[in-house]
Structure 1
Amino acid sequence: MEKKYLIWGTGNIAKLFLSTHINEFFFRNEIVAFADNDIKKKGKLFFDKKIILPYEIEEYTFDVILICCSAEKSIIRQIREQLKFQGMVLTMKDILIAMYSFYHDELRIYDKKIVVVGNPNNRETNLSRVYIFKEAEYVEINQVEKLKSMEYDYVLCTWPSEYWHISSDKRYEIVERKLIEKIVEAGGVDRKLVLTFSVTGIYWSVDKRYSLGEENPRQVFLLIKPGVGTVGLGGVILQVIPNIVYAKRNRMIPVIDMESFKNSYVAQDRIGKESGWEKFFKQPGQWHVRDIQRSKNIVESMVKRPNITIDEEDLNKYLEAQPILKKEVDEYCNTYFIGSRRILGVLVRGSDYVIMKPYAHCIQPDIGDMLRVVREKFESGGYDLIYLCTEEEAVVNLFNEEFGKKVFYYPSKRVECAVKGYLSESSMYREQNLYRVGADYWITLNALSKCNALVAGDCSGTQVAILLNQSRYEDIYVFKLGRYGIDDIVSEGKGEFSEASKT
């Protein structure tokens, strides 16, 4: 597998892909240089390697050109027709498939005993993500010396975004490298046996085909597994709907599985006994997981399919709420969102986003900027009320102080303030029914979609509310601040106001 790579592309796509995989894939392979068509980048460094112009690639010795940008087809034409390069050219998808094959077929890591090294605040969530391994134990990062006396096949370090504090340099791959060094030095682990958390993402990035028996030989089922780990209902929906569309286009039957693993809506002791999807929504194809357990043709998917754009029609066609939940939504919305009152909807995502700054997630605005924009929009748009959607009680208090009786919100349980660790491990989740958590969130998103306009941070809930609204908002203001760990804003420790998107 060890090869020399010339990487084509030095934008955010390349930055995200390489930050995620450089300490895993490129620990076993070598990057010789980066190529880019932008003459202004010539001679600069990217991931500590030189950026060259395309015509300079003939001066380098390498095995593969890896394209790390969105314009893959046009770049391939340029490589073949203009540069006359006839060697191997791969895309990021090709690399993910090759990596999955290497880990699954050659190393067989998913059949091995793994020790997960992670943040004690996120123990349960991190363990829920590694159900793909045959056996897993957990060791806190400040106790890695225990590894010297433990038996394992590989050691897996969790997301570096849990450890921004260990380095003044907030580059994801540098923080990850420091974690690996600590595991090797303090834990006495061979570097070749240290895996990064990207190997879990690789597993989820590739469709897996297999057979469970001889039943239903004429049907092909796309078994969709969304919501691994801490993903909330908004993120689940944005993953499920494109997969349903993909299944329909390829004559497969979509079946959504949120029961065979722990997720935000199924506790560890309820695995296999209830479905985190069917608590809220119906199966789109009328087939259930239990119906296909001996089927001949299964395609297991955790892929997000970013190339499939979903619209309001897809949401209405494939997302049907269970009768009880639909009744709750209708009763609330018909009570508070009828008549001539003009309502400005506001979504503030705080808690774990603000504290943890999860890698590659959208940066959330500073609360001062949010209040300022809401005030401007409220006054200039002539709105009567503000509907607030947030999981944080401290945010509710700030809006009450600023707007008084003009602000209202759904009476769900909230965390007191920004929490350490993931929201799904907070008391809000532990101390109440998981159906209630998801149902309250779905009700608030539907209510948000009934407003006349929207001001929001960029997150899954915002995207779902816009889809549910079906293009009826008269004004949309979404803070576009980049992504944690990719854009420079993260190094300042808080969001920075920038131009928002307006549609």
Structure 2
Amino acid sequence: MYRIGLGAPSALRRPLLLVRDVVRVLGFYGGRQSRQYMRFVRECESRPGHLREKIAELDAKVAAGGPLSYYVMPSAGAKEGMFQQVNALVYIHLVMALLQGRVPVVDMQSEKNQYLAADKVGRENSWEYFFEQPYGIGLGSIPSRADVVHGHFRTHWGVWRGDPARAFGMRDETRSDLYMLCERFVRPNTTTARTIDEHRHALFSPGDTVLGVVIRETDYALQMEHHSPADGQIDYTAQIQGALRRHGCNSIFVATESRKVFDSVSAAFPGIARTNPREFYDRYYQDREDGRALVLADVRHDRENDEYLRGLEYVTTVFLLAGCDVLLGTRSGAFTAAQYLNGGAYRHVSTWA
């Protein structure tokens, strides 16, 4: 089923995708992959260096230029955020691919996602708008008769449980593997990397000690399973003040989707609160009341190429967050991703008390 949504004629794509999704819903494929994944995690824990050895073996196979096998990671879904995709890649799908000796390939092309315009489904891969493919091999480079395994997105899903390594049962000795996977395989493309670098230099001076703060409002008031308590219920100003004092930070980077929240932090900490230029999502409340939005993915900005720009703004925000010295805030995809993108270099990490 590798060619679903890619080489398959458009008339066939929809029914084939439906068949695949029915199989996934029934849980047969996902359950088998979940058991396989946990077996692989135990291998990593019991055999230090095993994952790195498998990567070295795959590197050699790719360099040799012979036949390869592939592992295709599916899109997180039409309304899921980019860092659900990234988190699942690092925690689950890279482990699944690499321990099987398969080249990982991210597919955000075959199905609609919030970073891909409807008329580009099946034609462009929105992962590649922002990131390099793990081995530089995209969907179009996979031979039609290649040995391909398709990942199941929610295989052993549990990325929202606080500490990134422990979220998947990984002990401290496995944590460095996560940092390595992230550094090696989650690589911004040239345009994204340049944007991140430009914003970093515009926002911070070399001597700054920065407190990164994640404040989610809007759809987090819905209290979904993986969400922290809505930040509107928290005195985050007092907690930011305490973190500044304890950790000697002289600057605050605010990662929030709400202009109201950013203005509030700026008023409380004049001259030291900063964020990167982007569209905010305060219109979510009115869109929700009008029946146009349930989650942030439903909100549309009145600008050309909104799907791409919302992704670029989000990716840039999280990479800037990962470059801070201390991390505080809402448990979320961005908060989790920032921890392993940071490589374990934060002085301190905590969610709201």
Query: TM-score scaled to structure 2, two decimals?
Result: 0.71
Structure 1 residue 424, shift from structure 2 partner: 1.1
Separation in 1, partners of 2:16, 2:73: 16
Separation in 1, partners of 2:116, 2:259: 25
1:131 positional shift: 8.7
Question: Given the alignment, which residue of 241, 244, 247 partners 2:94?
Answer: 244
Residue deviations 1:283-319, cap 9 Å, x none? 1123221223622422111234544856211101111
Give the Cα–Cα distance (whole angstroms) in 2 for the partners of residues 199 and 220 of structure 1.
22
Query: CA, structure 1 residues 377+326, in 2 after alignment: closer, same or farther (shift >3 Å)?
Result: same
Q: Does the alignment pair 1:133 with 2:34? A: no
Give the equivalent residue in structure 1 for 2:77.
Answer: 228
Letter in 1 for 2:30: S
> For residues 333 and 130 of structure 1, do their structure 2 counterparts lie closer, same or farther at Cα, with a shift above 3 Å needed?
farther
Picking from 374, 387, 392, the partner of 2:240 is 374
| Paired position in structure 2 for 1:446 | 319
Q: Residue 387 of structure 1: SS of its match in structure 2? A: strand
* Structure 1 residues without counterparts, runs of 5 or longer: 1-128, 137-194, 209-215, 480-499
Alpha-carbon deviation of 1:436? 1.4
Match of 2:268 among 402, 419, 424: 402
Which residue of structure 1 aligns with residue 182 of structure 2?
A: 315
- Contact residue 72 and residue 148 of structure 2 kept, 8 A: yes
Larger RCO of the pair (alpha carbons < 8 Å, separation 6+): 2
Contact 1:394/1:417 (<8 A) preserved = no
The Cα of 1:274 is off from its aligned counterpart by 0.9
Separation in 1, partners of 2:178, 2:126: 24
Q: Partner letter of residue 211 of structure 2?
A: L
Gap regions ≥5 residues in structure 2: 1-13, 34-64, 157-167, 171-176, 289-293
Residues 337 and 447, structure 1, Cα contact 8 Å, conserved in 2: no
Residue pair 1:348, 1:389 contacting (<8 A) in 2 also = yes
CA distance in 2, matches of 1:236, 1:455: 22
Distance 1:274 1:394 in 2: 35
Matched, 1:281 2:138: no
Shift of 1:472: 1.9
Any idea what SS the aligned residue of 2:281 has? coil
Aligned to 2:227: 362
Please report the RMSD computed on the Cα atoms of aligned residues, expressed in angstroms.
3.1
Secondary structure class of the residue paired with 1:464: helix
Over 3 Å counting, the alpha-carbon distance change for 1:327 and 1:248 in structure 2 is: same
Quick one: which amino acid aligns to residue 223 of structure 1?
Answer: V
Tell me whether 1:390 sits opposite 2:256 in the alignment: yes
**For residue 297 of structure 1, what is the aligned residue in structure 2?**
147
Matches within 5 A, 1:322-341: 322-341=189-208
Q: How does 1:109-120 map to 2 (within 5 A)?
A: none
Q: How far, CA to CA, are the matches of 2:350 and 2:257 in structure 1?
A: 20
- Structure 2 distance, partners of 1:285, 1:292, is 12
Give the 3-state SS of the residue equivalent to 1:278 in structure 2.
Answer: helix
Identity, in percent, stands at 21
Aligned to 2:215: 348
Structure with the larger helix share: 2
Q: What's 1:459 paired with?
A: 332
Could you report, residue by residue, the CA deviation over 1:314-366 in whole angstroms, capped at 9, with x for unpaired residues?
10111121111111112222333342222211011222222x333x2222343
- 295, 298, 302: which one aligns with 1:422: 295
Contact persistence 1:258–1:275 (CA under 8 A): yes
Larger Rg computed on CA atoms: 1
The one-letter code sitting in structure 2 at the alignment partner of 1:403 is: F
CA distance in 2, matches of 1:444, 1:373: 21
SS of 1:340's equivalent in the other structure is coil
Aligned to 1:123: none
- Secondary structure in structure 1 of the residue aligned to 2:279: coil
Structure 1 residues 395, 389: CA separation in 2 closer, same or farther (over 3 Å shift)?
same
> Scaled by the length of structure 1, what TM-score is found?
0.51
Relative to structure 2, which stretch is displaced further, 437-446 or 416-425?
Answer: 416-425
1:411 alignment partner AA: P
**SS of residue in 2 equivalent to 1:442:** helix
Which residues of 2 match residues 475-494 of structure 1 at below 5 A? Answer: 475-479=348-352
Structure 2 contact 265–273 (Cα < 8 Å) conserved: yes
Task: Report the equivalent of 2:48.
Answer: none
Say if 2:216 and 2:231, in contact at 8 Å, map to a contact too. Answer: no
Give the secondary-structure state (helix, strand or coil) at the position aligned to 2:327.
strand
Q: Deviations over 1:18-69 (max 9, x none)?
A: xxxxxxxxxxxxxxxxxxxxxxxxxxxxxxxxxxxxxxxxxxxxxxxxxxxx
Give the distance between the partners of 2:15 and 2:29, measured in 1 at CA.
11
- Paired with 1:461 and 1:131, the residues of 2 have a C-alpha distance of 33
Instruction: Give deviations 1:129-164, integer Å, cap 9, x for gaps.
Output: 999426x9xxxxxxxxxxxxxxxxxxxxxxxxxxxx
State the secondary structure of the residue aligned to 1:312: helix
Whole-Å separation in 2 of the counterparts to 1:326 and 1:201: 40
Q: How does 1:202-221 map to 2 (within 5 A)?
A: 202=27, 205-206=30-31, 218-221=67-70
Deviates more, 1:267-276 or 1:308-317: 308-317
Aligned positions of 1:155-166 closer than 5 A: none
Whole-Å separation in 2 of the counterparts to 1:337 and 1:229? 35
Partner Cα distance (1:130, 1:407) in 2: 50
User: CA offsets, 1:390-437, max 9 Å, x none?
Assistant: 111121122123222221111110112554212111023876532211
- Structure 1 pair 365–476 and aligned structure 2 pair: CA distance change class (3 A): farther
Separation of aligned partners in 2, 1:440 and 1:321: 13
Structure 2 contact 31–155 (Cα < 8 Å) conserved: no
